[in-house]
Amino acid sequence: MRNDKQKNRGTLPPEFFNSMRVLSFSLLFFISCGEKDISGTWTGLSLYENGHFMDNSKAELCSLYIDENGAYFFRGNTGLIEKGLLSQKKNLLYMQDTLREQPTKQIAYDLIGQDTLELLMNDQSNALRLTMKKEKN
């Protein structure tokens, strides 16, 4: 009888391992969600300037491509083209336009679901809110 107790002392029940597996996956998911995956091709849906809705055709002229390595290409509704490097921290994008050699700009963003991106920018003295939809591959 004593041998059975000693034998079972070092073994853990299967429920323990199942719980640990769930905990490990949950922790991995939580850590990986720190930065949102915004890579892909985005097309403008709507544009607000200083709180006023702009014509949809202005938003539709905007496009943004972000690759997995942090390179980006942006085309604005006025013909502006930017190309450079992007990094993100929390809800901020840091965009370094290497094409026009501009200083790094900071843009607030919100990812709504997996396919809607909202960018909050300042252009001179104008507050801009550009909502974009992710294109399907």
CA-based nearest residue to 46, from 107, 116, 133, 131: 131
Indicate whether 44 and 21 sit together in one domain: no
Domain extent, residue 9, equals 2-32
Per the structure, how many domains does the chain have? 2
Q: 25 with 45, same domain? A: no
Q: What's the confidence (pLDDT) of residue 15?
A: 57
- CA separation, residue 18 to residues 25, 32, 106 (Å): 11, 21, 44
Say if residue 65 is in the same domain as residue 98.
Answer: yes
| Shared-domain flag, residues 17 and 47 | no
Confidence of residue 85 (pLDDT cuts 50, 70, 90): very high
Alpha helices (runs of H) in the chain, residue ranges in sequence order: 2-9, 14-32, 56-60
Question: Which pLDDT band holds residue 13 (cuts at 50, 70, 90)?
Answer: low
Residue 18 has pLDDT above 70, yes or no: no
pLDDT digits (tens, 9 = 90+) for 32-49: 345 789 999 999 999 999
Whether residue 95 is found in the same domain as residue 120: yes
CATH assignment at residue 127: 2.40.128.20
Same domain, 63 and 128: yes
pLDDT number for residue 62:
96
Tell me, yes or no, whether 69 and 114 share the same domain: yes
Whether residues 47 and 65 fall in one domain: yes
- Using one digit for the tens of pLDDT, what is the confidence trace for 109-127? 999 999 999 999 988 889 9
Looking at the structure, tell me whether residues 67 and 85 fall in a common domain. yes
